[in-house]
Amino acid sequence: MTVALIDTSTANIASVRYALTRLNAPYVLARTPADATGCDRLILPGVGAAGAAMKTLDASGWSDALRAERRPVLGLCLGMQLLFDWSAESGCGLLGLIPGRIERLDPGAAGPWPHMGWNALEEFRDGELLLEGLSPGERVYFVHGFYAPLGDHTVASASYGQRVTAIARRGKVAGCQFHPERSAGVGARILSNFLKGEAS
Amino acid sequence: MLARRIIPCLDVRDGRVVKGVRFRDHEDVGDIVELAARYSAAGADELVFYDISASPEARTVEPEWVGRVAQVIDIPFCVAGGIRSLDDARARLFAGADKISVNTPALENPDLVDALAAEFGSQCVVVGIDSRLNDGQWWCHKNTGDPTKSSQVPRRTLDWVAEVTRRGAGEIVLNCMDQDGVREGYDVEQLAAVRPDCPVPLIASGGAGAMEHFRDVFQQANVDGALAASVFHKSVIEIGALKTWLAGEGVEMRT
């Protein structure tokens, strides 16, 4: 079992690699779809702005490949947002694997923008593989200024002025708005749930 | 609800963690990776590594230990000290740091803040501010890691907070120098004064000596996180016990 870590050339690649190493999960850094040939699941990491990340994915061939992908995919942080249709951040189209739009988060009186820190996971959808062994109220580390509003895709949420999609899923495509690689034991559990889940 | 953050700060010099009183007379308190792992396991919400000799001596933080820390811990961490360029920042972020913090270099070249935010995103750009009361107003200080070079600059702290957040800083760490290292409590007055003008997360630094100090700064200055060093290094306060106590006092915590 090998994970393809899609190389979006963004800064959190190292933390995701180290998290996989701590879980004893073999991975390859996949700059192009061809690099992921022998892998049975994919992780799409990412930090930074949506527009720049989409340009990288378009140039490497990953945009087209992901739209035709049949293996399980897990997007992390910006990587989760890229799975949706459109982002208000750069006013740009995204991968379109999960219907919905990414909007700017308005925290209101909840605190400063962006949403940064440890927040509670809530409203678990029954049977969600990534949440196995976890309970509502457990905290994970968020850093984001844009968000996916709740929808059919929401399998866990968090609250920061708005109800925020914390984990999204549509079929084999899933994503975490937070950083499981920086979310201590809870994050490690979510990653290991993804790694042990059914592959293609 | 978002939890308030407890953030141990590890002052680093020559690859070791050190701690001084009011920035002077540093003593060795342990190995970087060992302490990082210990605090992470104890329930710290985030760590800050600050190379205290970096700014004055124009040295840069060794990215080598940044990578070693990133491999071991599974909570976010920030690296400060000696970051003067996009390349300095990139080396640390790609080695696994979640955030970088700039202090003196931002005072000397404010455009650095804009450039860092444009290149890496505001979420990983922290501006550290060393501030002290003088003649009834709070003023920024630079090169505070070295008592012989530390000096006040002609920028009022409140103005500087407004400017750097406008330039793209995603978080402010306000180190209140009058309180630093003496464990008599955070500078609640100064932090509460800065809070309304700080649209991004605000982290209190300097003065923690007892559990009540953390409660007071969260409840009276409404800061997002509280940073401390010596009380954790010297085991005056145990992180797990602190967080449990704060939760009991009504402060939102990850316990």
Residue B232 has pLDDT above 60, yes or no: yes
Q: Give the per-residue pLDDT at A77.
A: 94
**What is the tens place of the pLDDT at every residue in A87-109?**
998 889 999 999 999 999 999 98
The answer to whether residue B118 scores a pLDDT higher than 90 is no
Task: Indicate whether A115 pLDDT > 80.
Answer: yes
Mutation target for B interface from A5, A7, A9, A15: give the one with most B CBs within 10 A: A15
Query: Do B96 and A185 count as a contact with CB atoms less than 8 A apart?
Result: no
Looking at the structure of chain A, the number of domains it has is: 1
Cβ-defined contact of B76 to A19 (cutoff 8 Å): no
Distance of alpha carbon A160 from alpha carbon A139, whole angstroms? 13
**Is the preceding omega at residue A107 within 30 degrees of 0, hence cis?**
no
Q: Is A130 on the interface with B (CB under 8 A)?
A: no
pLDDT > 60? residue B56: no
In this predicted structure, what is the pLDDT of residue B58? Answer: 46
Contacts with B90 (C-beta within 8 Å, 6 or more apart), sequence order: A11, B119, B120
Closest-CA residue of chain A to B91:
A11
Which of B252, B254, B255 best tests the A interface by mutation, with the highest count of A CBs <10 A?
Answer: B254
Kindly report the average pLDDT of chain A as a whole number: 94
Answer whether B201 touches A (CB < 8 Å).
yes
CA distance B72 to A88: 36
Q: Among B51-60, B107-116, B140-149, B214-223, where is mean pLDDT lowest?
A: B51-60
> How many Å apart are CA B53 and CA A172, to the nearest integer?
49
Cα separation, A166 vs B193, whole angstroms: 34
Residue B178 has pLDDT above 60, yes or no: yes
> Which CATH number do you get for residue A146?
3.40.50.880
**What is the ipTM metric for this complex?**
0.91
Say if CB A83 and CB A8 are below 8 A apart. no
Taking residues B160-189, report their average pLDDT: 93
Q: What is the mean pLDDT of the segment spanning A146-161?
A: 97
pLDDT of residue B24: 56
Contact A120 B70 (CB under 8 A): no
Closest residue by Cα to residue A52 from B122, B121, B92, B90: B121
Given a cut of 60, is residue A24 above it in pLDDT? Answer: yes
Asked if residues B233 and B12 have their Cβ atoms less than 8 Å apart, the reply is: no
pLDDT, position A188: 97
**B5-248: what fold?**
TIM Barrel (3.20.20)
Euclidean distance between CA atoms A160 and A110, whole angstroms: 6
**Confidence band of B63 (pLDDT split at 50, 70, 90):** low
> What's the confidence (pLDDT) of residue B20?
60
B98 touches B143 (CB < 8 A)? no
Active-site option among A39, A69, A77, A115 = A77
Is residue A134 predicted with pLDDT exceeding 80?
yes
Q: In which band, very low, low, confident or very high, does the pLDDT at A13 lie, cut at 50, 70 and 90?
A: confident
